Structures are given as C-alpha cells and as structure tokens.
C-alpha cells in the first residue's frame, strides 16, 4: 500500500509546492514563445530541406507539447487540487515523459547527423536525406505512442485507488516496465552522444584543413556539448529517479529541472541557423573543396 505522507512539516511542504509551481509557470512563460517562434522559423525559413531541420522541427514540436502541459502542473502545486479528470492527469504526465523520450532520441539523431556531416560528408549524403529523416521521426513517435498505451493503463489503475491529490505523484507506480524502458533508452542515447562527441572532436583536431576557422570548430563542439548537458542535467536524473528509491524524495524537483530543457533547445537551433542559411546560398562545384565546404557551411 502506498504512503503519501511527507517528512516535511506543512510549511516546508507548502514552500516546496510553491517553488514547483513557480518553476513550471516560469518555464511556460519562457518556453512557449521560444518554441513557437523556433518552430515557425524552422518551418517558414528552412522548408525542411535537410535532415537536421526535420529533426529540429520534431524536437521543437515535442517541447511545445511539454510546455502546453505545464500550466496545469503549476496549478496543481499552487493549489494542491486537481480540477480535471484522472485521464487528463495521465495524459499530461505522458506529455512530460514523451518529451524526455522523444527529445533524447531527436537530439541523438541531430548528433549523429552532425557526426556524419563532419566525418563522412560525401559518403553519407545518400543517408542524410529529408525522406529518411521523416521516416525516422515517424518511427520515433510510433514507438512513443505504443509505450504510452500500457503505461496509461497502469497509471489509470493507480489513480482509481487514490483521490485527485495523487496526481503527478506516482511514487507507488514508478518501477513499471516503461520506467525501465525510459532509463535504458536515455542511457543508450547518452552513450551514443558521448561516442559521437569524441569522434567529432578527434576529427576536428586531426583531419580538418587549417583553412577551417576556429570559430567553426567552436560552434561544432558547442552543439555536441549542449547535447551532452541536456542528457546529464535534464534527462538522465529524472529518468533514474523513476527507479531508485533513494532518489524519490527529490523526484518532483528533478521533474521541474527536466522541464527546463524545453527553454534551452532553441539554443541548439541558434547555433545551427547560420549554417542553414549559408548551405542554401553557397554552392561550390569544386570537388577538392566540397568536403571542406560541407563542414564549413553546416557548422558556421
């Protein structure tokens, strides 16, 4: 049987819940315009003509879904009540978990795409196509939805045994198969990002021509470092908290922290925007320069 009693006194608990409400409210206020504008720019200005743009559109869409779910979380922690149905609580919870899962995959796709652009710019062109990117993105969303079905059923059974005050506090339903899936998924995606970062760093250091400007190299590595930070700070702690008993008192705080990722993803778009513009405008038919230009134009 679950126990929802808290070790903090009422004042401490109220202060924590107020803090959670402020974080979720602040992320909503900041994240909503950032992601709406980012999505508009990606769709309007870049026309989904590169796999990187496709993945970033889906990443921005995932973040936007998370942002629109946060006002109700803020309301819940501010008032201590849940005015909607248990199913609404479940789907808002799913929007958060889907964001962690889908964002970790799309960020990894972006990372792998950048790796191929640096290490194999010519040989990977038949792989790095918008068509393949759309197929990959569709597969990601399909997997996410399939995982949602049994997870939603389990959370529904849990909520039927407890009143509305248990919304978002699924501490007795944390070690589900889907929770293990999320922790393993995020860990695997992090490992892929670490390998990609190491390979790109080695390539930039050892193989690129001296004519590549240092600013370009910095921009390249910033993308990879930002990706690693997303995993280490936002995705992994919240995912592991689903599994480890000792982490559960900090679970809601880690959820707050994880929600901030949707405000930082636009930085990833920013460091790629100039590359998108130049890639469209600059055409070089000289084969000896083509490999170098691929890296320069995509990461400038």
Per-residue pLDDT averaged across 155-179, rounded?
67
The confidence score (pLDDT) of residue 169 equals: 67
Token pair belonging to 197: 């970062």
pLDDT at 85: 83
Q: List the chain domain ranges.
A: 10-299
CATH superfamily of 10-299: Rhodopsin 7-helix transmembrane proteins (1.20.1070.10)
Model pLDDT, residue 284: 37
Q: Report residue 276's pLDDT band, with 50, 70 and 90 as the boundaries.
A: very low
pLDDT at 291 over 50: no
Q: Which of 12-26, 42-56, 155-169, 205-219 is least confident?
A: 205-219
Higher pLDDT, 17 or 246: 17
Q: What is the mean pLDDT of residues 70-75?
A: 92
Helices (H), 46-129: 51-79, 86-119
pLDDT in tens, 142-153: 999 999 888 888
Q: How far is CA 174 from CA 5, 89, 248, 284, in A?
A: 17, 15, 9, 54
Contact call for residues 97 and 182 (beta carbons, < 8 A)? yes
Mind listing the pLDDT tens digit for each residue in 27-41?
999 999 999 988 888
Mean pLDDT over residues 240-267, rounded? 84
pTM score = 0.83
Among the listed residues 136, 147, 223, the one whose alpha carbon sits nearest the alpha carbon of residue 179: 147
Q: Is 4 helix (H, G, I), strand (E, B) or coil?
A: coil
Q: Which residues, other chains included, contact 284 with Cβ-Cβ below 8 Å and sequence gap of 6+? A: 290, 293
């Amino acid at each position: 049987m679950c126990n929802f009693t808290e070790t903090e006194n009422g004042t401490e608990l109220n202060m924590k819940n107020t803090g959670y409400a402020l974080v979720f409210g602040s992320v909503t206020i900041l994240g909503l315009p950032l992601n709406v504008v980012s999505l508009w720019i990606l769709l309007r200005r870049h026309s989904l003509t590169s796999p990187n743009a496709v993945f970033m559109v889906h990443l921005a869409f995932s973040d936007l879904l998370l942002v629109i779910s946060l006002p109700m979380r803020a309301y819940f922690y501010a008032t201590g009540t849940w005015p909607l149905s248990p199913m609404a609580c479940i789907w808002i919870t799913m929007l958060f978990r889907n964001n962690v899962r889908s964002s970790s995959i799309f960020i990894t796709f972006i990372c792998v795409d950048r790796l191929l652009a640096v290490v194999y710019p010519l040989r990977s062109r038949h792989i790095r196509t918008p068509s393949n990117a759309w197929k990959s993105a569709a597969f990601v969303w399909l997997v996410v939805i399939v995982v949602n079905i049994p997870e939603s059923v389990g959370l529904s059974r849990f909520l039927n045994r407890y009143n509305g005050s248990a919304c978002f506090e699924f501490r007795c339903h944390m070690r589900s198969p889907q929770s293990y899936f999320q922790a393993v998924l995020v860990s695997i995606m992090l490992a892929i990002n670490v390998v990609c970062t190491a390979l790109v760093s080695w390539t930039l250091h050892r193989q690129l021509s001296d004519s590549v400007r240092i600013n370009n190299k910095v921009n390249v590595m910033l993308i990879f470092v930002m990706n690693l930070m997303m995993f280490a700070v936002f995705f992994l702690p919240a995912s592991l908290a689903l599994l480890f008993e000792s982490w559960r008192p900090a679970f809601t705080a880690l959820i707050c922290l994880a929600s901030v990722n949707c405000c930082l993803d636009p930085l990833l778009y920013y460091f790629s925007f100039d590359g998108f513009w130049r890639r469209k405008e600059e055409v070089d038919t000289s084969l000896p320069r083509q490999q170098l230009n691929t890296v320069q134009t995509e990461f400038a």
